[in-house]
Amino acid sequence: MLKREMIKAVGFDLDECLYPSNPEINGRIRDQISSRILEKHADLKNVKGARAYFEEQYQQLGSGRKVLIAAGYKPEEASQIMNLAVSQADIIDLIKEDNKTTELIQRIGKSYPFTYLLTSSPYESAQNKLRAIGINPDVFAYRICSNNCEGLSKQDGSAFRYASEKTGVPAENHVYIGNSTKSDIMPAKAVGMQTIGVWSDIPEADTSVMHIHDLKSLLL
Classify residue 96 by its DSSP letter.
Answer: P
pLDDT-based confidence at residue 98 (cuts at 50, 70, 90): very high
Chain center to CA of 131: 17
pLDDT-based confidence at residue 7 (cuts at 50, 70, 90): very high
Same domain, 35 and 110: no
Query: What is the Cα–Cα distance from 4 to 7, expressed in whole angstroms?
Result: 5
**Looking at 41, 73, 92, which one is the last position of a domain?**
92
Q: What is the pTM of this model?
A: 0.89
Same domain, 106 and 205: yes
Same domain, 74 and 180: no
- Those residues whose C-beta lies under 8 Å from the C-beta of residue 117, and which sit 6 or more positions away, are 11, 12, 14, 126, 130, 137, 140, 142, 143, 144, 145
pLDDT tens digits, one per residue of 105-161: 999 999 999 999 999 888 999 999 999 999 999 999 999 998 887 778 888 899 999
Same domain, 184 and 82: no
Judge residue 180's burial from the number of C-beta atoms within 10 Å of its C-beta, 0-12 exposed, 13-18 middle, 19 or more buried. Answer: buried
Same domain, 145 and 203: yes
**Looking at 62, 92, 122, which one is the last position of a domain?**
92
Same domain, 39 and 148: no
Structural domain containing residue 84? 23-92
Residue 37 in contact with residue 202, Cβ under 8 Å?
no
Residue 179 in contact with residue 200, Cβ under 8 Å?
yes
- What are the DSSP E strand ranges found in the chain? 9-12, 114-118, 142-144, 174-178, 194-198, 207-209
**Looking at 63, 92, 121, which one is the last position of a domain?**
92
Same domain, 171 and 199: yes
CATH number at residue 201: 3.40.50.1000
Domain count, the chain: 2
